[in-house]
Amino acid sequence: MKLAFGCDPNAAELKKALIAKAESLGHEVTDFGSDDPIYANVAADVAHAVAEGKYDRGVVVCGTGIGVSLAANKVKGAYCALIADPYSAQRATLSNNANMIAMGAQTTGVETAKVLLELYLANTFDPNSRSGVKVARVVEIEAEQL
């Protein structure tokens, strides 16, 4: 899977650990950087790349994960889930078809974050599942706003 990663300077160490984990799982990784203190910039860059189909999924990190998830979700076609526990990491894909995840470097430990990333990447959305109509409605709402 092709993955795009980005973060603000506060989350650079967690991003490095997550990139190493993704690579150890056999994924192709691109690092969009961590130098810009305006987390919305890198989150939007990753979100655009994912929404445009250049990458299969994206991972963005800031202090809490909240800011990058909000910024990413402003990009049409980017569906970023803030994850902090194993169940949410799995359901981000299975129930919500999230093509991006966000995590907080100051709220999630490195080893936990690696597990969450692995769980997120291990799942595939089934549009014929009971969540299919729910996810379709989210996409419709997005289209109505444009």
90-122 pLDDT, tens digit per residue, is 999 999 999 999 999 999 999 999 999 999 999
Number of domains the chain contains: 1
Token look-up 């990333």 returns: 117
Q: Which domain holds residue 51?
A: 2-144
**Average pLDDT of 57-63?**
98
Least Cα distance to 60 among 75, 76, 44, 84 occurs for 44
Residue 40: predicted pLDDT: 97
- Residue position matching structure tokens 């049409």: 76
Confidence of residue 75 (pLDDT cuts 50, 70, 90): very high
pLDDT of residue 145: 85
3-state secondary structure of 57: strand
The Cα 134–Cα 94 span in angstroms is 12
Active site residue 7: no
**Mean pLDDT across 68-80:** 98
Size (the chain), residues: 146
> Residue 107: which CATH number?
3.40.1400.10
Catalytic option among 18, 51, 59, 62: 62
**Is residue 146's pLDDT more than 80?**
no
